[in-house]
Amino acid sequence: MRCATARRMMSRFLDDELRPGSRAAVDGHLAGCPSCQAALADQRRIWALLSSLPPVEPPDVLRAVERRLAEPAGEPAPLARPGLGLAAWAVAAATLVGLLIWTGIWAGEAHHRASVAGQGELAEAFSDVPPGFEVLALLERSEK
Amino acid sequence: MAREWLTDRAAAADEDHEAIRRVARGERAAFRVLVERYRAPLYSFVLRMIRRPADAEELVQETFVRAFRAAPRYRPEASVSTWLFHIASRLTMNEAARAHRRRERAVEPPDLPTSAPGPEESLAQKELADAVGAALAELPPKQRAAVVLSRFEGMSYREIGQVLDVSEGAVDGLLQRARRTLSTLLRAFA
């Protein structure tokens, strides 16, 4: 076995994830390779360092969970910060769908331009626009 | 010893399956058992991922709320433990990715150990823990999750793959890269 192969298998070796045959092959290589022995020892030390992280005291979440379960089921926004929550995105998406329909009916000129631009060009034209916001960008550009 | 551990895990998995069946029937008592059993490992996982205690607590609550509501759809292809970690991981990963992009750092480190070392030892220990915590935070979220699940939760590559929705080979790759990065970042302490 070459060093490169042994190094590739080292993570599985350390985590006891190798089959017996492969493990024996790595063991055999290590026995005659000081460089890989050193690499293994280094990996072991790094892994052991993770133990220096203090244990975590878990909060009592049961009461809060039961309180939340008593509320009507909706689409929750686990962390309101940072950025928009899921509910806000849903409202934004619904608004955009409405705008899309409205645009299809009333913004004939803009729609026509988008149609003739072709899909590839359209995608390119709005490559700097976040997904879902193409219609707003289209209206903005048609006003210029 | 290993056999006893495996037997214990198998027995716990059976108990969990029974508990989740009862939860699916709406039995709150069975749900409370699962919350008590998994709040500590889930909180530990989420906190080590995002490093903000208040947000970690909220995400753990959300994990249990979603698990309760999804219990009728639970299929025992993975263990209940893996399933719960999978829910927590999905909730946590986006937040961790955002924080990673901002290179955000924790406002406060997690709670200190329960033992009470002397002042010098305490300072050195804290310095080391801070360095390790900061090094973990440098890892991309999936690598960090793989490290935490492997090192702190003792999960196999198969279980980590189920939690993170990746293959065992991918878990191997994540851990290899994480080890290389940690080795570089923590060289001064090794």
B71-112: pLDDT as tens digits:
998 888 889 999 999 999 999 988 877 777 766 554 444 443
Q: ipTM beyond 0.85? A: no
> What pLDDT is attached to residue B98?
77
Q: CA of A57 to nearest chain B CA: how many angstroms apart?
A: 7
Least CB-CB distance to B132: which of A15, A42, A50?
A50
Neighboring chain A residues of B183 at a CB cutoff of 8 Å: 42-43, 46
Report how far residue A51's alpha carbon sits from residue B153's, in angstroms, rounded to the nearest whole number. Answer: 12
CB B45 within 8 A of CB A75: no
Interface of A with B (CB under 8 A): 8, 10-12, 15, 17, 42-43, 45-47, 49-50, 52-62, 64-66, 68-69, 73, 76, 78-79, 82-83
In the predicted structure, residue B159 carries a pLDDT above the cut 60: yes
pTM confidence score: 0.71
Q: Give pLDDT, residue A53.
A: 85
State residue B75's pLDDT score. Answer: 85
pLDDT digits (tens, 9 = 90+) for A134-143: 444 444 444 4
Which residues, 6+ apart, have CB-to-CB distance to A126 below 8 Å?
A134, A137, A138
Distance of CA A77 to the CA centre of its chain: 17
CB contact under 8 A, B179 and A47: yes
Q: Which residue has the higher pLDDT, A99 or A63?
A: A63
C-alpha to C-alpha distance for A50 and A54, rounded to whole angstroms: 9
Nearest-Å Rg of the Cα atoms of chain B is 18
Residue A132 gets the label, from left (phi > 0), alpha (psi -120 to 50) or beta, of left
The per-residue pLDDT for B119 is 58
On chain B, the residues whose CB falls within 8 A of the CB of A71 are none
Written as one letter, the residue type at A27 is D
Measure in Å the smallest separation between the Cα of A46 and chain B Cα atoms: 6
Indicate the length of chain B as a whole number: 190
Highest mean pLDDT among A4-13, A115-124, B121-130: A4-13
Length of chain A: 144
- Higher per-residue confidence, A30 vs A72: A30
A65: which chain B residues are within 8 Å (Cβ-Cβ)? 35, 61, 64-65, 68
More confident residue, B178 or B118: B178
Structure tokens at A47: 């892994």
- Neighbour-count burial of A130, counting CB atoms closer than 10 A to its CB (0-12 exposed, 13-18 middle, 19+ buried): exposed
Predicted local confidence at residue B189, as pLDDT: 78
Interface contact flag, A79 B182, Cβ < 8 Å:
no
Name the residue facing A56 among B55, B111, B176 (closest C-beta): B111
Give the pLDDT mean for A91-103. Answer: 71
